[in-house]
Structures are given as structure tokens and as C-alpha cells.
A and B are shown apart, each in its own frame.
Chain A
Amino acid sequence: MIDYFQNRRSQIAYDGFQHVSLVVQCVLLATVIALVLAVLVYRSSFATQVAEGVGAVGLTIPSFALLGLLIAPFGLGVLTSVIAVTFYALLPILRNAVVGLAGVDRSLIESARGIGMSRFRTLWQIEIPLAWPVILNGIRVSTQLVMGIAAVAAYVLGPGLGGYIFEGLSRLGGSGAVPAAAVGTIGVIILAFILDVLLLLLGRLTTSRGLRV
């Protein structure tokens, strides 16, 4: 086990980096898409319900199934991984963004409009910052979720630590199977933990002191 790790140290570090990089980029992309969607739907309760429904159903799709479906149009490789990971990352963020934006005190929005802020400025300077703690929570949940999904995405030759897990599974019973699966699994857990701490820190830095309790 130790040997397995020692011999492949730099390769594992590289794959770990790739894994995190995939997750971070997909979460960023998902955040942008989720915010745009949330802004489009949050004022209408019907659209909000549709968005939440899709979100809930979306999460029940097994990741393997989705990857399988995506292979046909997009082939094996990074693009398919990115699409699948971004899709799953989107769901919790969208949900929280809609809830967060809808939860902003109406009187504050009226106050903003009343002193002459345009709709866009109100959204950007008032509504999003006020909803930010909730949105950020969605981003954290989402990051944890897709750390695991990204590992599964190795199935379609996506980058990252998933490869070790599949390697272990395919050689089940053979030599090196357990260390490989363990490196993949433990690696994902450790990186997920580090990312979460970083996100907490980011939350600290980006949330106004006026909003903390």
C-alpha cells in the first residue's frame, strides 16, 4: 500500500490536481449558469417551482446513466465529464440561488428602486449580495456532491482520481487492487475536505460583516 503510493507519488498528485481543477471549473461554470437561471425564474412562483422540480428530479438520475447517455453525442473524454459534472453542480446552486433571491426582503428592493437604482443595479448591488450566503451554501453542497461524481466521470476517461478507483475495481482480488481503490477514495475525501475549508474561507471573505449573525 505504502509502496503503491510511493511509486506513483507524482502521478497521484497530478491526477489529484486534475480532479480538483475539473471540479472547481465545473462549479464555477455551474454557478454562473445557476445565477442566470435563478434571476430569470425567481420572480415567478410557477417558474420557481419548475426549477425546483427539475432540480429534485435531476439529482435522482444516476450519474452512470447520465454519462452513458452523454457518450453517444459527445464521445469519450473530458467534454463529456465536464457536461455531466456541471449538470450535477448546477442543481443545488440553482435551488439555493432561487430560494436566496426570493428570500430578499421586498421592502429593501423597493427601497433600492425608490432611491433610483435601476433593476440591474438593484440585482447586482442589493439582491445578489443579500442572497450570497445562501448561494454560497449551495456552492459548498454542490462541490461536495461533484467531487464524487467527478470520480465516476473517470469512466468516460475524464481526468482525476476516479481512474484509481476503476483500476482497483477492475482488478478486484488481484494484487494492487485495494491500494489503487484506496488511493482514489481517500484522495477524493481529503481533497473534498480541503476544498470545503477553502470555500468556508471564501465565504468569510465575501460575505459582508453586516450580514453575519
Chain B
Amino acid sequence: MSETVASTRSAETDSGPVSGAEVILENVGKRYPGQQQPAVGDLSMTINAGEIVMLVGPSGCGKTTTLKMINRLIEPTSGRIMLGGEDIIKANGDELRRRIGYVIQAGGLFPHMTVEANVKLVPNMLGWDKKKTATRTEELLDLVGLDPKVYRSRYPKELSGGQQQRVGVARALAADPPVLLMDEPFGAVDPITRQRLQDELLRIQKELRKTIIIVTHDFDEAVKLGDRIAIFRQGGEIVQYDTPEEILASPADDFVESFVGAGATLRQLTLVRVKDVPLDMPVTARIGEDKQEIARRAMQEGARDVVVVDERNRPLRWVDLRELEGSGKLAAGEDNKLKVIGEGATLNDALDTMLVSSHSSAIVVGRGNQIVGRVNVDIITNAIALLRSARNGANDDLDEMPDHDSSTRPSGARRVTR
């Protein structure tokens, strides 16, 4: 293994304290009345406090059933579930669910209630006073990136799919529950929005450190979001429950292998964040600058295009050298072909974004949407090469040291090697 990249996930230095609770499933089973095979046979797993665990597996294998047993929307027929040391069967079902966030596909917002009313539901049920609830609502909308002034009194139909999903997350987090359950939360939005929502979830998680359990069909999503992934087979049987790196590097059997798929190396792009690779910095220009001056600067750098930024260094659009011919000042204007991604995005996201961008590169923005660089094909190719050599290296190591370290590593210190 060549060099080690800093850990890229939630457990980084600048993340908040863990506010999640540990969830333990002990020999949990669910048999629906009148069915031969149980939907979930005998499931045991421990979900560490503050981690994101992804449940993946073929359709009908019992993921949703497992998830819903944790908040007792479905009552287990056998076994025991502990939440933060408490046996959930002892709690009142409704009260239990007020303490567990629950998000379904498309957010599950109530169409006859405003955004604010939707978010306030749980605090109201818990009897919070008006003032506290109002402050909390604002805080939450801010947290999920919706301006309370603009969105508070809108109805769900007046929001985009992505915005609805955000409100769904805000509503689930309203009473600050230690555990969040999400059933295919990003299944109903387009790929670009999905990527943004995923990034946002990671950002929120970094701050809150909840215990989050997510059902997904998208293995890339599992690799991107999960601290751990549980791969299910029919009957709620767990085939492998491990970190994404482990699963990609050493799938437990053919079934997992088929899930991971042929593009394992490409998949590993999901493990590398944009901020972990050396970025290229494009030539930038401000509106109102002299065109010839800009052209001269670009020429010096050997660039054929320039990114126009605003007074706070936020990227606006691309201009070609051709457009800089002649004299005069650079005019304002925007174009939607300039594609932007956050520093926390994965190289896989970057690749997707580049494919729809006009300049075969994606602009990377940091705090306050300021430009910090760009990713282009060369950067991705380099990363793939490094991943490939690291993977081969890792496999060699594995032969010698079968007791790789997934169990002994502190959960924070693991992450990508390349």
C-alpha cells in the first residue's frame, strides 16, 4: 500500500459528539400470518451508536420488515430489539416511534399541511411549548438547507421532490431522536438531486452523529453513505456485515460478489472524496475585468477556458478564449452548463457530474460555495490507477494476514487506502 489518505467519513476530527444510540437485534424474526417462510428468520446484528448502516439486498429479502421492526410498525414474532439499552417491546408503540425518526421514499409529507405544520407534528405530540417548537422548526429547515422564510408556509405540492425529501428529514429529526430509520429515502429523485441529498445527509450526520439505518437498492449509495453495509439474502439472512472497504476488497461469497458487481474498481471511486485528491485550479476571472487582460492570463497558464466568479469567488460560468477576443469588459451572465460539486462528493459523483458538463470537468466548491478547484478526467484516471494498485497490494497482504483489521480498528481511524 502506498500512501494513506486521511479518513474521509463522519468520524473526522471536526465532527460533533455522538448523539445516536446503539441498536441491537437479537435473534429477531418475523413470520407474517399464513406464510410458509418467515420474512425474517433469525437476525442478529449490532448497530453502533453514531454510525450509518445500510441495508441492501434483493427485493423481498426482508429489509423493510427489519427496519419497521425497529420502530415496531411491524411487531417481531420472535427475538428482542434493544435501543440504547432499553428493550423496545416494553415501550408504548406510539411513544417509541416519537423517539425514532422515520423517513420514507419521497418524504411522506402530508399534502394538506404546510411545511411548518409537517415539521411541528412530533414536537406538538410531545407537548413542547409553542416557542421552543417554532425555534426548532426554523433551526431544522436551516439544517436541511431550506430558508425558513421562503418555505415555512408552502405546501408539499409547491416543493420539488428533493425539497420534499429534505422536509421529510427535518420532520424526522424534529424531536432530536437518537435513531433515524430511512426506507429508500432517495429512491424517487433524479440522480443529480440524489447525489446532493446524499452529500447533505453526510454533512448533517457529521454534525449530529445519529444512529442511522437506511434501506437502499443502490449499492453505490450504500458504499457512499454507509459506515457499514449489511447485505441481506432472502428471509432476512445477513450474508456480510462489514465496512464498505472490506466488502469491496473481500466479498464474503459469490452472492456478495454479484452484488458488488464487475465494476468493483469503479465502485471504489465512491470511497474517495474529492477533497482527498489533488485538484487542478482553473484560471478565474471577475465580471467587469478587461477581456484582453483575462485572455493574456489564460494564455500564460495554457488554459483554453476560464471560470467567471462573482465577488465572493463563487463560480458563475465558463468562458472560452474565443469569447474573449476583442476588447472591452467581461459581461455578466450565467450558464447552466457549469456543474458544481461539493468537496465531500465522491469521485464517482464527480464522474457523473462531469458527464453532463460542457467542459468535461466539474468545479469543486468549498465553504460558502467558493471555488476551490476542479476535477477533470486526468485526476479521475490517476485515482483509478492508484486504487487498482492499492487493491492488488491489499489482496496480497490479505493472503499473509487473514486477520485484517476491521474488528480491531477504532471506527474513526479506518478509511481509504490507495
Q: How many residues of B contact A (CB 8 A)?
A: 28
Complex Cα distance, B113 from A209, in Å, reads 9
Q: Does A73 contact B (CB under 8 A)?
A: no
For the complex of A and B, the 7 pairs showing the least CB-CB separation, nearest first, are A111-B108, A210-B155, A116-B98, A208-B112, A114-B102, A116-B97, A210-B112
| A209 lies within 8 A of B155 (CB) | yes
**With A107-B104, A210-B156, A210-B157 as contacts: A113 and B97 at CB distance below 8 Å:** yes
| B97 lies within 8 A of A211 (CB) | no
Report which of A114, A116, A130, A211 forms a contact with B104, defined as CB distance below 8 A.
Answer: A114
Q: Does B122 contact A (CB under 8 A)?
A: yes
Q: State which residues 84-133 of B face A: CB under 8 Å.
A: 94-99, 102, 104-106, 108-114, 121-122, 125
Contacts of A108 in B (CB 8 A): 108, 110-111
Report which of A107, A114, A208, A209 forms a contact with B97, defined as CB distance below 8 A.
Answer: A114
- The residue in chain B whose Cβ has the minimal distance to the Cβ of A111 is B108
| A110 lies within 8 A of B111 (CB) | no
Q: State which residues 147-174 of B face A: CB under 8 Å.
A: 155-157, 171-172
**With A116-B94, A211-B111 as contacts: A111 and B104 at CB distance below 8 Å:** yes
- The residue in chain B whose Cβ has the minimal distance to the Cβ of A126 is B110
Complex Cα distance, B125 from A113, in Å, reads 12
| B155 lies within 8 A of A118 (CB) | no
Contacts of A111 in B (CB 8 A): 102, 104, 108-110
Contacts of A116 in B (CB 8 A): 94-99, 122, 125
- The 8 A CB mask of A82-111 against B (1 = contact, 0 = none) is 000000000000000000000000011011
Report which of A117, A129, A210 forms a contact with B121, defined as CB distance below 8 A.
Answer: A117
| B172 lies within 8 A of A130 (CB) | no
9 pairs of residues in contact across A and B, judged by CB atoms under 8 Å: A108-B108, A108-B110, A110-B108, A113-B73, A115-B97, A116-B95, A130-B112, A208-B113, A210-B113
Q: How many residues of A contact B (CB 8 A)?
A: 19
- The residue in chain B whose Cβ has the minimal distance to the Cβ of A121 is B125
Q: State which residues 49-108 of A face B: CB under 8 Å.
A: 107-108
Q: Does A141 contact B (CB under 8 A)?
A: no
- The residue in chain A whose Cβ has the minimal distance to the Cβ of B71 is A114
Q: Does A112 contact B (CB under 8 A)?
A: yes
Beyond A107-B105, A114-B73, A129-B112, 15 additional contacts (C-beta under 8 Å) are A108-B111, A111-B108, A113-B73, A114-B97, A115-B121, A115-B172, A116-B94, A116-B96, A116-B97, A116-B122, A121-B125, A208-B113, A210-B112, A210-B155, A211-B111
Q: How many residue-residue contacts, CB under 8 A, span A and B?
A: 64
**With A108-B108, A110-B73, A111-B102 as contacts: A210 and B114 at CB distance below 8 Å:** yes
Contacts of B121 in A (CB 8 A): 115, 117
- The residue in chain B whose Cβ has the minimal distance to the Cβ of A130 is B112
Contacts of B71 in A (CB 8 A): 114
Contacts of B157 in A (CB 8 A): 210
Complex Cα distance, B115 from A208, in Å, reads 13
Main secondary structure of the interface of A (DSSP, over half): helix
Complex Cα distance, B109 from A211, in Å, reads 12
- Residues in A lying within 8 Å of B, measured CB to CB: 107-108, 110-118, 121, 126, 129-130, 208-211
Complex Cα distance, B112 from A116, in Å, reads 18
**With A115-B171, A210-B156 as contacts: A110 and B104 at CB distance below 8 Å:** yes
Complex Cα distance, B122 from A107, in Å, reads 18
CB distance from B330 to the nearest CB of A (A): 45
Q: State which residues 52-109 of B face A: CB under 8 Å.
A: 71, 73, 94-99, 102, 104-106, 108-109
Q: Which of B108, B113, B181 has the most CB of A within 10 A?
A: B108
Contacts of A107 in B (CB 8 A): 104-106, 108
Q: State which residues 167-203 of B face A: CB under 8 Å.
A: 171-172, 181
| B97 lies within 8 A of A210 (CB) | no
Contacts of A114 in B (CB 8 A): 71, 73, 97, 102, 104, 108, 181
Contacts of B114 in A (CB 8 A): 210
Complex Cα distance, B140 from A49, in Å, reads 45
| A115 lies within 8 A of B104 (CB) | no
CB distance from A136 to the nearest CB of B (A): 13
| A117 lies within 8 A of B104 (CB) | no
CB distance from B390 to the nearest CB of A (A): 42
Complex Cα distance, B96 from A116, in Å, reads 7
Contacts of A126 in B (CB 8 A): 110
Complex Cα distance, B157 from A129, in Å, reads 16
| A117 lies within 8 A of B125 (CB) | yes
Complex Cα distance, B111 from A108, in Å, reads 9
Complex Cα distance, B71 from A118, in Å, reads 14
| A115 lies within 8 A of B102 (CB) | yes
Complex Cα distance, B114 from A210, in Å, reads 7
Complex Cα distance, B125 from A209, in Å, reads 23
Complex Cα distance, B106 from A112, in Å, reads 14
